[in-house]
Each structure stands twice: as C-alpha cells, then as structure tokens.
Amino acid sequence: MASALKESSLRVCGGGKQYCVICHNYRGKIIEGRVVRLHKLPTNKQLKRAWEQRLRLIRQDYNTVKNPRLCSEHFVGKRGPVFGDDVPSVFPNRTFPLSTINRDDEAPAAEVEIPEPEVDAAQPLDSFEEQQSCLQGELSLPAFSVSLHDYAGPVVTSTIFRPTHSTKKVGPDTTFVDASVQTEPFVCVGMPGNSAETQTDFCSQNYTPLRYEHVSQNEEVFRAYTGMPNTGTAVAVFEEVIKGESGVRKCSLRLLDQFLMTLMRLRLGLVITDLSFRFSIPKSTCSRIINKWVDILHSRLSSLIYWPTRGQVNATMPSDVKERFPMTRVIIDCTELFTETPRSLADQSLMYSHYKSHMTWKALVGVTPNGVVSFVSDLWAGSISDKQLVAKSGMLDLCEQGDAIMGDKGFLISDLTTPRGMQLIIPPKKNKAKQMSVVDLVLTRRIANVRIHVERHMERVKNYRILNSLTGTMKANVSKVWRICNSLTTLLPPLHPHEYVDEDDPTLQ
C-alpha cells in the first residue's frame, strides 16, 4: 500500500515528465544509484522491428502509443542499449533470453566483418566506451568509425578508404604525393604524434602564393575579389595612385600585389591572417602594407568625390527631376554601420544607436539628381541625430542660396536651411486623424522615385564587406576606409542613364 501510494505520488509530481511506454519510470529517476534514461526506437529497420515485436508482447495496446520511449531498465545491465545487448529483454513479468539480433544474414562477403571482442565472461563490459576500446584495435580508424553507425547500411571496405595517389615518405610528419600521378601536388600536413594514415584528414593543397595574374585572367572573379569593374580600370587606378608616391615600403611583395591585397581586404573583408596566408607574407608585414595603402588611397582617391557647381548639376539633371524639382542640388540620407562594443562605458554611450539597438558608426551621404555621389561625411558615433550630423558635417556650407535639399521625412532641418535661403524637400507627414490626401500621396511617390538613387549608392558601398566587420582596432582609419569605399563606387557604371551633355555649354564652367 505504501509503495503504491509512493508510486502514485511520483506520477502526480511528474505530470510534465515523459514516461516509459512499459513501466512508470521517467527520465532522470534514480533507481539503486542508476539514472534512468529514455530511448527512442532505433533507426535501423531490422533492430526497430525487433524492438516493436518485444513491446507488442508486453503491452497489447502498443500500436496506439505515439512517440514511444523505452527506459534503460529493460536492457541487460539496466544501462540502455549497448553493443551486444541492443534489444530490450528485461520486463516486469517476463525476461527474454536473447538480447540482440543476428545480422549475419544481411552481411555480404565484401563487408567489413566486426570481430567479437574477447572479454572475460566474469567481468562484462559495463559501458559502450569500453567495448569501443576493444574493437578499435581490430579495425582501422575509418572502418571502425563507419561500423558504429548502423544506419549507414552495409559497410564496404573499398568505400571506406581508397588511396588514389602514390605517396612517399619525406619526413616524420609530412607525406608528399608523387607528381607523376597527380597533376596538382598535394601535401599532407601532419600533426605531432599522428600516424601517416591519420594525417590524410589534414591534407591541404600545396599552394602558390596568390598574385595579381591569378585573378586578372577572369573578369568575373576579378570583380568579385576587388570590386573594380574590370582589370583595365584597376591598372589605371594603380598607375595613378603610385605616380610620384615614394612612401610605399618595398618588400618581397610587388606593388601591384600589394594593391590587390588591399582591395581584397576592402571588398571581401578578409582578416589579416587570411591575407598573410594567401600572399605568403608575415602578418605584421601584411598589416603594415594595408595601413600604408589605406593612407595612400584615401589621399589619392578623395578627388573622385566631387562637389559639382550649380551649372553642372542643372546640365546633368534628368528631365523628369528638372520638371518636378528643378532646384534640387543634392539628395541626402544617413546610414549606420555596425561595430564592436567598446570597453569604455563612455564610448558605449556614444556609439549606441537607439534606432539600430546596436553599436554603430553613422555617416551622411549626398548624391546629385543623376545619381553621382557628391558628398560623403566622416563617420560619427551612432548616437548622433540626423539633424546634428547635417549641421556638423559641413554639407550646408557647400550649398548656395536658392538650392533645394531633398531628404527623408526624418530630416527635420528646416530651421537650418531656411535662414540660409535654401529649400527643404521631404515627404509630407501623415496626419493620424485622417488619411493622406491624393496630392500628398503623389508628392511622396515622386520624391521616393528621386531619392532611390542615394539608397542604391549606399547599397553599392556596403558591398565592400569590410564595412560589415568594423573592429575597435580600426578606429583610427575607419573614416578613411569609409571614404575609400565610396570613392571606388564612382568607378562603377552610373546608377542613372546619362543624357547627352554639350561639353561646350558655358553653364558647365
């Protein structure tokens, strides 16, 4: 009576627990110092069928049970299914003599035969790990690993490990593949204490250091690695950059390869360790080269971001923009770039952006009505507002009286533009009490059609993946990197199809 009451109380307390399909045991219950575990039906079809036959004999309504679980107390040793005792055989009212199945009928002659471990019957193996240690000495490591997964099906020796190259021993930790058999040489990089068979898992290609010629032969690959439209543009930029430049320190890497490495750092966002491995140079040398080239590119390419005159803007303005917003001088927008959390609490309060809920850098970008970038600010801490950024960036000082500045509805800077005689073009605000009028709706759509060019430009800039992984160590050069990426986007095809412009027009002067 007391035991029944105790068992009943256990079931009530474990209302949220999962019980064994046969008995009242649940996962985590302790019986005579053993922790009860629940096991799903095996994935092996033959073994699963043997389990279900046993369970149907014990429980008549077994077919009505969904997702059955069987506890470890129903196996020999009461520790769950182990090798040799993987079929439940111990039940409350019945014990079966056989606790495993015979798989010899399914095993073809080509399979790997797993020998039975020689174990003293007086001292049975209590754990699966102990049985592994006995079997591993009989088989090779790949064969033993595959043999443990019965769901993989029959294990054929020829499919486990098939050497395709003739090798010869060079050193205690290195095996070289004969070049007469393999077109590309491979080197197996060994680890101390590993055998030659184990070293096959650490095999890597014996590479040649990356050079400009390797990526310049394919234009698509070159664009993906550098962000440049083609190799001709890259060579022209390189020749212009190094013209009269004596600050580049000479090393084992050619200047052209240094230029390629810097572009890969910007475009792909590769870490210094990766670049030093690709170009086969020390990490310190790689870091020093990139820092120097960042300074050079920032000073040489800054002229690509040009603030055009009023006449140049009018002459290159698309006809639809000229018809609706003829006084537009610049289209502005702000963007934010994620960065690491600084250690200083003061820096954290400055860098935290409530809009992004993250530590960010923030910048102001301006493009002309035909989609050419004309203004790029430095990177500021993410807590700065759009209005403060416009005021501190110096963009208003470049505009003239009568110019119109187009922006998003978040740029509430009319108090900054009106005293200077400038017009602010932003979408109208929606009144909460009533729907937006047809006039306001049309105006919003027309402004959005023009503003889309600044969004497309920022999408191009963010394709330089280094801007997605700005770290604290880049704090000194972060604004330079930002400006370089904006400058390089000006070398890409125009965002807006250019209309014919008469170069002799006096308004362009």
Tens digit of each residue's pLDDT (9 = 90 or more) over 6-27: 343 333 344 467 889 888 888 8
Residues of the chain with CATH 3.30.420: 306-489
What's the rounded mean pLDDT across residues 184-203?
A: 36
Which pLDDT does position 19 carry in this prediction?
86
Using the predicted structure, report yes or no on whether residue 109 has a pLDDT greater than 70: no
What's the rounded mean pLDDT across residues 321-338?
A: 93
Tell me which of 23-27, 93-97, 110-114, 381-385 is least confident.
110-114
Token pair for 197: 């068979």
Q: What is the pTM of this model?
A: 0.58
- Is the CA virtual torsion 408, 414, 419, 423 positive or negative? positive
Tell me which of 68-72, 154-158, 277-281 is least confident.
154-158
Higher pLDDT, 3 or 435: 435
Residues 446-472 pLDDT 10s: 999 999 999 999 999 999 999 998 888
Using the predicted structure, report yes or no on whether residue 234 has a pLDDT greater than 60: yes
Using the predicted structure, report yes or no on whether residue 333 has a pLDDT greater than 80: yes
Residue 177 main-chain phi, psi, to 5 deg: -85, 140
Q: What percent of the chain has pLDDT over 70?
A: 72
Query: Mean of the per-residue pLDDT values for the chain?
Result: 77
* Owner of token pair 């009286």: 401
Using the predicted structure, report yes or no on whether residue 228 has a pLDDT greater than 90: yes
Q: Measure the CA–CA gap between 300 and 117, rounded to whole angstroms.
A: 74
Which pLDDT does position 197 carry in this prediction?
37
Is residue 177 within a helix (H) or strand (E), and if so which, with residue range?
strand 174-177
Which pLDDT does position 190 carry in this prediction?
36
Q: Measure the CA–CA gap between 494 and 456, rounded to whole angstroms.
A: 11
Which pLDDT does position 167 carry in this prediction?
43
Task: For the chain, give percent helix, strand, coil, nearest 5.
Answer: 40, 15, 45
Q: Which of 361, 350, 364, 371 is nearest to 394 (CA)?
A: 364
Which pLDDT does position 376 carry in this prediction?
95
Under 8 Å between Cβ of 454 and 368: no
In SS3 terms, 367-381 reads as ECCCCCEEEECCCEE
Q: Which of 364, 369, 365, 367 is nearest to 327 (CA)?
A: 369
Confidence of residue 59 (pLDDT cuts 50, 70, 90): confident
Residues 6+ apart with CB under 8 A from 411: 332, 386, 387, 390, 405, 424, 426
Residues 136-193 pLDDT 10s: 444 454 454 444 444 444 444 444 444 444 444 444 444 444 433 343 433 333 333 3
Name 205's bridge partners.
186
Residues 392-427 pLDDT 10s: 999 999 999 999 999 998 899 999 999 999 999 999
Q: Measure the CA–CA gap between 32 and 231, rounded to whole angstroms.
A: 75
| Alpha carbon separation from 165 to 93, 185, 203, 414, 425 (Å, rounded) | 60, 10, 13, 74, 70
How many other β-carbons are positioned within 10 Å of the β-carbon of residue 211?
Answer: 16
Pairing relationship of beta strands 404-406 and 423-425 according to DSSP bridges: parallel
Using the predicted structure, report yes or no on whether residue 75 has a pLDDT greater than 50: yes
Confidence of residue 94 (pLDDT cuts 50, 70, 90): confident
Which pLDDT does position 206 carry in this prediction?
57
Longest distance between any two alpha carbons in the chain, whole Å: 109
Confidence of residue 4 (pLDDT cuts 50, 70, 90): very low
Return the exposure string of 51-66: e unless at least 16 CB atoms fall within 10 Å of the residue's CB, then b: beebbeebeeebeeee
Under 8 Å between Cβ of 22 and 91: yes
Which pLDDT does position 250 carry in this prediction?
66
Q: Measure the CA–CA gap between 304 and 302, rounded to whole angstroms.
A: 5
What's the rounded mean pLDDT across residues 337-341?
A: 92
How many other β-carbons are positioned within 10 Å of the β-carbon of residue 151?
Answer: 9
Confidence of residue 432 (pLDDT cuts 50, 70, 90): confident
Under 8 Å between Cβ of 228 and 222: yes
Higher pLDDT, 506 or 369: 369
Q: Which amino acid is at 487?
A: S
Token pair for 371: 């989609």
User: E strands along 211-312, which residues?
Assistant: none
Residues 122-135 pLDDT 10s: 444 444 444 444 44
Q: CATH class for domain 306-489? A: alpha beta
Q: Measure the CA–CA gap between 111 and 83, rounded to whole angstroms.
A: 18
Q: Which of 88-102, 196-210, 376-390 has the highest mean pLDDT?
A: 376-390
Under 8 Å between Cβ of 270 and 225: no
